[in-house]
Structure 1
Amino acid sequence: MKKSYWAALVYLVLGLAGGFYYRELTKAHNFTGETQLSVVHTHLLALGMLLFLIVLALDVTLKISQAPAFKVFFWTYNAGLALTVAMMLVHGTLTVLGKESGPAIAGIAGLGHIGLTLGLAFLFVAIGKALPKPQKETEKPVEEPAEA
């Protein structure tokens, strides 16, 4: 549970820092065009902080962190998000500085997105394992006695 809390907190701080970096870099270079830096802030807050707050709530109610798939989700998802955001920062910074980023940046960012996708798949496996098992159909529900 604490891992999810700390992950959410780290992504909050990184998201705020990402917004600050975008504002200050574009202001320092008088940049007014489109850059991927403008969405680093929201990616970190939504895919990082908000997701891990939701995961924390799921862990409190369903104990999803006890499923073996949770550990795979946690590290795969975080690695994917870190790689994706790092490439957004590199590409966006190069754009502001007026330089080309090349196809390697897009390819590495694609690997980050694959990590995010795999991580989410493992999250759903962990949630599925943690959900309560349905009653067998052969068991009859307990009936309340009829009132006289």
Structure 2
Amino acid sequence: MTKLFYAAFTYMVLGVASGLFYREFTKANDFPSGEFTQLGLVHTHLLTLGFIVLLIVLALEKLFAMSESPLFPWFFWVYNAGVVVTSGTMVWHGSLTVLGQESSAMIAGIAGMGHILLTIGMVLLFLALRHGLLAQQAAKLAAPAPAQL
């Protein structure tokens, strides 16, 4: 559970820092205000996909002990790899836009792989959650009934 806490905290810090980077990098390079760059989206992606999602997973872990599933570590590492790859390519692509350089199909392909990792991570999360729900139901059925007076 502490891994989830520290990961969520890390994404919160990175999300806030990416917003600062976006503002200062575009200002330093005289990028026209209001023009689109993916740098502006990194802030919300890190805060939502990293910080908020992992806080929700932390709450679900507390309720359903999903980490007892053998799939939970897979979820944790695959999902985090997806967030890092996706947000990293957004920073890369957005920085190129601000600098007036062309992006490439390679960047789009890497970003696509990040999204695939996110999708696999979400499927693994639901499988781990299912494991926790079923284990909780089985424990309730196996528990002795309270004594009647």
Partner of 2:68 in structure 1?
A: 66
- Separation (CA, whole Å) in 2 of partners of 1:55 and 1:102: 35
Q: Quick one: which of 89, 97, 100 aligns to 1:98?
A: 100
What percent of counterpart residues are identical? Answer: 51
Counterpart mapping for 1:7-46 below 5 A: 7-32=7-32, 33-46=35-48
Long gaps (5+) in structure 1: none
* Moved beyond 3 Å, runs of 4+: none
Query: If the length of structure 1 is used for normalisation, what is the TM-score?
Result: 0.89
Whole-Å Cα distance in 2 between the matches of residues 80 and 54 of structure 1?
17
Question: Which residue identity is paired with 1:114?
Answer: I
Q: Distance in 2 between matches of 1:111 and 1:44?
A: 17
Matches of 1:16 and 1:127, distance apart in 2: 29
Which runs of 5 or more structure 2 residues have no equivalent in the other structure?
A: none
Whose Rg is larger? 1
* SS of structure 2 residue aligned to 1:19: helix
1:133 and 2:133 matched = no
Partners of 2:47 and 2:83 in 1: CA distance: 11
- The Cα of 1:29 is off from its aligned counterpart by 1.2
User: What TM-score, normalized to structure 2?
Assistant: 0.89
Q: CA deviation at 1:28?
A: 0.8
Post-superposition Cα deviations, 1:23-79, rounded to whole Å, max 9, x if no partner, equal: 001111111221000010000000000011001101111111111111000000001
CA distance in 2, matches of 1:108, 1:60: 34
Aligned to 1:122: 124
Amino acid at match of 2:23: R
Question: Given residue 3 of structure 1, which amino acid in structure 2 is its aligned partner?
Answer: K
Amino acid at match of 1:36: Q
* Corresponding residue number in structure 1 for 2:56: 54
